[in-house]
Amino acid sequence: MEEEGYVLQISNINDPLTTNINWLMVNSVSEISLLYSYFTKKLFISATMSQNNNFDYIKQELFLANDTNSYLAKNTFDFSKRLNIIGLKDSQVASDPNSAEFTDFIAKFIMHSVQNMDHVLVLFTNLDTIKEVFLQIQTANELKDFEILAQGLTGSNERLAKRFSIAKRSILLGANSFWEGIDFKNCNINLVIVTKLPFESPDQADIKLREQKLRNIMTPSQI
């Protein structure tokens, strides 16, 4: 792959629903310009387009002019009354997030922290970790009243989101697309557990593609 390519991911060779193919592109300016040419006006609406009330980053990413009109609607969600953020500080947590000890801790933490919840979203940065945690909690007696869903294991992302929303009590183990922009309809999520901050791994296919592209355009003295 140079400018673009495809990445095929299969989490479970026995389940065709765990097969995902992603299209990657380093520089999309030509494709976006072609898309824009079909429209006389362009309108973008999203809850995740601004950063600190600023649209500069998204304008750059979408190749929009600096003087493009923008509007930031008033926030109707009262974070101070409806959201609590709790940071966990525990000496028992393994320092290596890829270790079995870390996986064991996450599994036990879920089993002992969601008893009074109905909908729990657990966010990961690694599909392998999701699989290990899922294998530990799927038959746990503490979670017998929950439908446990896991990305890459129990269906497509669309099916997981739908099942999570309509189930009376459910736990969703997700990564990638479940971090932002996901719509669970009228489902009220009681608890979101972030197992690890989502820094991109250098082993990801898209990161390798961008790294190789940068190496190709840089001189040895710049690397």
Q: Give 16-47 pLDDT, tens digit per residue.
A: 877 877 776 767 788 888 999 999 999 998 88
Asked if residue 212 belongs to a domain, the reply is: no
For residue 172, being part of any structural domain is answered with: yes
Residue 139 within any structural domain of the chain: yes
**Most confidently predicted of 51-55, 170-174, 184-188:** 170-174
> Cβ contacts of residue 4 below 8 Å, gap of 6+?
23, 24, 25, 26
Together in a domain, 159 and 188:
yes
Say whether pLDDT at 165 is over 80: yes
Claim to verify: residue 163 and residue 119 sit in the same structural domain? yes
- pLDDT at 126 (0 to 100): 84
Q: Verify that 28 and 88 share a domain, yes or no.
A: no
Are 60 and 104 found together in one domain? no
Q: Are 135 and 187 within one domain?
A: yes
Residue 15 scores a pLDDT above 70: yes
* pLDDT value for 90: 67
Asked whether residue 145 is domain-assigned, the answer is yes
* 65 domain-assigned: yes
Residues 64 and 105 reside in one and the same domain: no
Helices (H), the chain: 29-36, 56-61, 79-82, 100-113, 127-137, 157-166, 205-217
Per-residue model confidence (pLDDT) at position 1: 42
My answer on whether 96 and 177 are in the same domain is yes
Q: What is the domain range of residue 50?
A: 4-75
- What span, in angstroms and rounded, lies between the C-alpha atoms of 126 and 200? 10
93-137 pLDDT, tens digit each? 777 777 888 899 999 999 998 988 999 999 998 888 999 999 999
**201 secondary structure, DSSP code:** P
Which pair of tokens denotes residue 197? 């901050």
pLDDT for residue 55 is more than 50? yes
Q: What pLDDT is recorded for position 109?
A: 92
Q: Can you name the residues that pair with 8 across neighbouring β-strands?
A: 21
Mean pLDDT (the chain, rounded): 83
Same domain, 35 and 132: no
Two tokens, residue 129: 């970790």
Query: What is this structure's pTM?
Result: 0.65
* 102 within a domain of the structure (yes/no): yes
Give the rounded percent of residues in the chain with a pLDDT score beyond 90.
Answer: 30
**33 within some domain:** yes
Question: Domain check: are 152 and 110 in the same one?
Answer: yes
- H or E, element range at 154: none
Domain end marker among 43, 75, 107? 75
Residues 38 and 111 reside in one and the same domain:
no
> Based on the domain organization, do 44 and 98 belong to the same domain?
no
Average pLDDT over residues 37-62: 89
Tally of structural domains, the chain: 2
- The answer on 93 and 51 residing in a single domain is no
